[in-house]
Structure formats: structure tokens, C-alpha cells
Amino acid sequence: MLDQLEAQAPDALLALIKMHAEDPRQDKIDLGVGVYRTNDGATPVFRSIKAAEQRLVDTQDSKSYLGPEGDTGFVDALKPYIFGKDATMGGRVEGMQTPGGTGAVRLAVALAKSAGVKRIHLGVPSWPNHAQILQDVGVETSTFHHAKADGTADIDAVLDAIANAAETDSILLHGCCHNPTGVDYSAEDWARIADALVAKGMLPILDIAYHGLGNGLDEDVAGIRTVLAKVPEALVAYSCDKNFGLYRDRVGAFYMIAKDASDLPAITSNANALARANWSMPPDHGGAAVRTVLRDEGLTKQWLDELGEMRARMRRVRERLAAADNEVPGLNLAALGEQNGLFAILPLSREQITKLREDHGIYMAGSGRINVAGLHEGNTPKFIAALADVTAG
């Protein structure tokens, strides 16, 4: 049977990582991989996480199984950061731990399907795995444009998608720091989206993978809080892999917001059954480390400082790029200053992206997506000069 399988296309980003690793040029720049980097190009373990991990090593006395819901202390400790002051939303929210944000998205889509959702609307471009998950779970995907050419969100497109949707459709929205465009909805946009969702009676799936990497922890979820304050039901997928630097430990959470608290036991029992059939239970270590940080005032402060440093660094990179708008006409670098998070899309042709790689040692995804955290004071001038070179004429 197995010899009948057809080879799948290799992951383009992995091929790019390999090419970058093999490039001997000292001043090469990697803007491909989607992880945060410091000024020195490193992706270090957070000091707060290191300290929490040490405590876990010293004190953890069992690694016996938890249930499919994982570490509920971890899941509850995150709630106030996501949902705000009334972190339980009047008892209408229940959560569980998942293997990364990916596991949470997967569970959200699978649970929506169990609840009768047949089609999910997705703004494009999006994180490529969104479409793959929808396909793999077996729901239909309907796409709309996420961003306009001027580098702002296409609010009309999302409102049209909602207005023309069936009541049994769902919509998957990025909470903040949109991947790959960096283009987020404004506060006013979110209010209109919330009203449109209520008018349609549509179940939103909100994906938050970069919380705190945009404008601040509260600021980054203000939009989804606007939605959650209005809609009766919602599903939230959350990743701690960027904002706690835990990538390979696979730390995520999935929250279900019910119309009525009395609906939650049935809803969560379905989510538990789906988790059980998928991964049985999530890996523990990273979630336990996050719980340890968030239950300790000193470690929480340290984490907030570390996250604040990351955010400030990315804002500085974005400001530098925006300030070079005149040096590279036609790319609208100015818009990058208004956008959020790790990513931005530059409207470059395939040829220009190849020329950047071959002539300048600058590596980025074929879509023109750059990871702004790959840039710093030292290499930004080279990057801007290279952009001016490949776009000249």
C-alpha cells in the first residue's frame, strides 16, 4: 500500500533554512523562519522560563498522566490575560491545554465541525497551516481578502464574507499580529465585525498566536474582547510558543465560550473526546513552566519585561523600515510602521526575491513574507540598500 503514496511538495521554508545554512557569506540575512530573534540573531530561552523550569526540576514529584484537558492551572492562569477582568466571562468560558496553538486550532475546527459547521471563512493570505487543517478535518474553506494593497485590513471583504455566509458557517480570524501580513483590524473594524457576527448568528474561531508581540498584552486582545463581549458563543485558540519562547515545547490552550454556563459540560466533553482521539493528552512541561511563571509575582514581572523588550525591539525595526520609505519607492515600507508582530509581506516579484537571495544573501519566503525580527540596527541598512537595488527601474 505504502508504495502507492505520491510525494508531497517539500516545505518551502525548510528548503530556505537549508539554503541559508549553506550560504558562506558572513553578512547573509535570514528573514524566513518565523521565530523571534534578538539583536544578535539568537532565539534564547526566556530567563523567567529558565527559572520556572529549574523550580519544576527541583519540585516536580510525579510525571503521572493528567487528563486530556492537561494542566488546568496553566489554562486558568492565562485566562485573565486573554479575557480581562472578568476572566471567567460569568462562568461561560472553559479551557484545556493543547499541543501548541496548532493543536488548539485543530481542536477548534474539529469541535466546530462536530457542532454542525460545514464551511469556514478564512482571510487570505493566512498562516498556511490554517487551510491545511480545515482540509484535513474535512470542512469546506471559503476565502476572502485579508489586506488591501495600501497595507491596511480589508474590512469590507470580511464584512461581506460574514453577510453572505450561511448561519452554519464559521469564520477563523487572527486575534493580533496577523501572519503573514502583520495587518490587524482596527478597534472600529473589530466592533463592526462583532456586530456582523451577532447579526448573522455565526460562530467565530479566534486564533491568538502572538499575544503581546504587537502593542501590549491588553492592546493586542482588545479586538477579540470586543467580539467576545457581544457574541453568544466563540472558540479561542491560543499559543504560548512565541510570547513565552517555548516553540518546541508545544504550549497552547483552547477556550470554549458558551451561550450559557450550563452548556459547558457537554461542549467540553466533546472537546475532550476529540483531544483523546488526536493526542490523548498534551505535553506537560511547557505548560507547567508557564503556570509556574504566572503564579509567581517576581517571575511574572520578569516575563512581562522580557516580552516588553521583544515588542519594543520589533517596533524599532518597523520604525527603521518605515523611515526608509523614500529610499525604496513602490514597496510602501511606511505601512510596516503601522503593522504588528513578527511578519510583513513585501510586494516583491519572484525574480526580485531570487535576486535578493543570490546577489545579497537575503533569504525570505517566496510569498515576500519577511520576519522583521531577523533585522537589527546592524543589518537594516544593507537590507534597505538591497531592496532599492532589486526594485530599481
At closest approach, how far in Å is the CB of 174 from ligand PMP?
Answer: 6
Active site residue 279: no
The three-state secondary structure class of 285 is helix
* 180 vs 361, beta carbon nearer ligand PMP: 180
Alpha-carbon distance of 270 to 107, in angstroms, equals: 10
Q: Is 113 a catalytic residue?
A: no
* Residue (63 or 248) nearer to ligand PMP, CB: 248
CB of 106 to ligand PMP, least distance (A): 9
Of 105 and 373, which CB lies nearer to ligand PMP in the complex structure?
Answer: 105
Minimum distance, C-beta of residue 100 to ligand PMP, in the bound complex (Å) = 3
C-alpha cell at 365: 519566503
- The answer to whether 267 and 256 are in contact (CB under 8 A) is yes
- The residue annotated as part of the active site, out of 169, 184, 189, 207, is 207
Annotated catalytic residue, options 110, 112, 127, 253: 127
Q: Pick the closer one to ligand PMP by CB: 154 or 184.
A: 184
Number of H helices, E strands in the chain: 13, 11
DSSP characters over 267-284: HHHHHHHHHHHHTSS---
CA distance 256 to 304: 26
**Minimum separation from the CB atom of position 178 to ligand PMP (A):** 8
Q: How far is the CB of 179 from ligand PMP (least distance, A)?
A: 4
Contact 160, 341 (CB under 8 A): no
Query: Which residue in the list 110, 147, 209, 288 is annotated as catalytic?
Result: 209
CB 152 within 8 A of CB 316: no
Q: Where does this chain bind ligand PMP (CB under 6 A)?
A: 34, 100-102, 105, 127, 174, 179, 207, 209, 239, 241, 252
Q: 248: burial class by Cβ within 10 Å (0-12, 13-18, 19+)?
A: exposed
Residue 355 catalytic? no
Q: Which residues of 45-84 are buried (b: 16+ CB within 10 A; e: fewer)?
A: ebebbebbbeeeeeeeeeeeeeebbbbbebbbbbbebbbe
Q: Residue 270 carries which side chain, given as an amino acid letter?
A: N
Tracing cell 456586530 back to the chain, one arrives at 195
CB of 372 or CB of 386, closer to ligand PMP: 372
By C-beta, is 206 or 328 nearer to ligand PMP? 206
Q: Which residue is nearest to ligand PMP (CB)?
A: 100
Q: How far is the CB of 19 from ligand PMP (least distance, A)?
A: 20
* Residue 127 designated active-site: yes
120, amino acid identity: I
* Residues noted as catalytic: 127, 207, 209, 242
